[in-house]
Amino acid sequence: MRAFPFLLLTSAFTAGIWAQPGELKTATAVLERYQQALGGAVSISRIQSETRHGEVEGSGIQGKITFTSYNKPFKWLAKIHMPDGTERVNGFDGAVSWSTGPKGAEIDTSIPVESNRRDSDLHYALHQPDYFQKLELAGVTDFEGHRCYWLHGATHWGKDNNQFYDINTGLLVGYRFQSDDKSSVPTIAVFDDYRKFDGHLVATKNIARSGDQQQTTIFTEVSFEPIPDSVFDLPAAVKALLK
């Protein structure tokens, strides 16, 4: 899902129509086509580090948030600069989800660890079914102005999850799902404006909606240079909370 923690990420339900002859008939086929659309499994697996720069605007934000995020397999960190000049840092070291900001350090225990591992999985496109009790092709439907293959599943932690892949391009258009915290708020995430960075295709515009709240994230720069493991070390204030 690869969604940032500070995003609100749902949803108008659209009726599904079963696939016609000649169309893809299984979730596996849809996911394999998605991998091919991104550049192929080999290309995806070669990415071992990713740095993104971007900005966020939306409901309840007075001004513009800017951020830099760092990602290695199952590790993630974002330095977030708020419009009022304050800075927050969100991170996940593979086991602990944490944040620091003006109010000090916090450890997030509201979201299952496996959900955080999924969102920091740099190769998520290669093994999405690993995070699901089931993930099946539900048919063909309209989603956000696209004709899409609709995959429906339930995560290992019991959340309803729907994925939509454009019939023509094979690319992911978006998700409709229950938020992974205890609220299970219906959420929609839309991925758009795919661009290539060093030969890798990235959705540079992410729109997240929940009820009447909406936020738009734009990635302005993406690179794949090596990142030291030390970037993801827990801050002293977070370690103190763990004690």
pLDDT in tens, 114-157: 999 999 999 999 999 999 999 999 999 999 999 999 999 999 99
Structural domain contains residue 15:
no
Among residues of the chain, what percentage have pLDDT more than 70? 91
Structural domain contains residue 14:
no
Structural domain contains residue 132:
yes
Residue 59 banded pLDDT, cuts 50, 70, 90: confident
Domain that holds residue 231: 27-242
Question: b vs e for 19-28, b when ≥16 Cβ sit within 10 Å of the residue's Cβ?
Answer: beeeebeebe
Instruction: Give the residues across from 57 on adjacent strands.
Output: 216
Can you read off the two tokens belonging to residue 186?
Answer: 């219906």
CB 186 within 8 A of CB 180: no
Residue 5 banded pLDDT, cuts 50, 70, 90: very low
Structural domain contains residue 72:
yes
Is the predicted pLDDT of residue 172 greater than 70, yes or no?
A: yes
Is the predicted pLDDT of residue 38 greater than 60, yes or no?
A: yes
The pLDDT, as a whole number, for residue 15 is 36
Is the predicted pLDDT of residue 13 greater than 70, yes or no?
A: no
Structural domain contains residue 50:
yes
CATH number, domain with residue 103? 2.50.20.10
Structural domain contains residue 20:
no
Structural domain contains residue 121:
yes
Instruction: Return the number of other C-beta atoms located less than 10 Å from residue 77's C-beta.
Output: 20
The pLDDT, as a whole number, for residue 22 is 55
The mean pLDDT of 227-242, rounded to a whole number, is 97
Structural domain contains residue 87:
yes
The total number of structural domains in the chain stands at 1
Is the predicted pLDDT of residue 84 greater than 60, yes or no?
A: yes
Which of the residue ranges 18-22, 139-143, 172-176, 229-233 would you say has the lowest mean pLDDT?
18-22
Give CA–CA dist 208/3, Å, rounded. 9
Residue 33 banded pLDDT, cuts 50, 70, 90: very high
